[in-house]
Chain A
């Protein structure tokens, strides 16, 4: 178990999580591109019961790469993408690794939805890479 601490850009929202592993799933799906406004999301899954959040969080429901709804949790003040909850996997909260106080504490575990990735985006490391989802 590793303790992960983080929060949004403006500091209004803070969280602490107990993580079973500290690998980040790099998701290139178009939904993650749009929500982050960037090229991929770096995601660390934790049990929702092991995540404590304080501060003003808003939720927006979007459709993930799976085609099923994903609840996107963001700071109501500064809009930082904090964590998401896939409705196909109840009980799971998936942290956006860029909001960790120490993002370098996590490293990529695998890449998913590589088919949607922008051609110039390269994630270093000998990790599994999937055209779609891993399952």
Chain B
């Protein structure tokens, strides 16, 4: 992994840079993630909010009430619809303000290796998770 991490949407209208190493890489198998990505799970990195910087374009915020009742804001490319990230918000455990970035939008994805897997209760049966990883039926508290 080489810092800063760079990435962007599919069409290139939105670009970003991340100056710090991710705190965590995880997959999410919730049905909302399945719908929006159109695939079996989403892949995200959690990064300190202060390390994230948009370098091109203006993503469109889309609000949705999550299963937890909390309002989620997703930032999408206005041109190609790609989901880039959420907004920065405090981590419930550490209090640190973090942002979850969709890892498939990174330019270099070769180093990505999730260690935690969320909402595995709705995981597709044909996805095999790496042995020894942290598995959560839903979301960690």
Contact = CB atoms under 8 A, between A and B. Distances in A.
Interface of A: 7-10, 30-31, 33-42, 58, 60, 62, 72, 74-82, 96-99, 103-104, 107-108, 118-120, 122-125
Interface string B1-44: 00000000111000000000000000000001011111111110
28 contacts: A7-B35, A8-B36, A9-B32, A31-B10, A33-B104, A35-B10, A37-B37, A37-B105, A39-B43, A39-B109, A42-B39, A42-B40, A79-B76, A80-B36, A96-B38, A98-B40, A99-B34, A103-B124, A104-B125, A107-B125, A107-B126, A108-B126, A118-B110, A118-B112, A120-B113, A122-B127, A122-B130, A124-B127
Contact of A38 (B41, B62, B81, B128): B41
Q: How large is the interface on B (under 10, 10 to 19, 20 to 34, 35 or more residues)?
A: 35 or more
B64 interface: yes
Given A78-B62, A118-B109, 15 more contacts: A8-B35, A34-B9, A34-B105, A36-B37, A36-B38, A37-B42, A38-B40, A38-B41, A38-B103, A60-B79, A79-B36, A79-B77, A80-B81, A81-B38, A96-B39
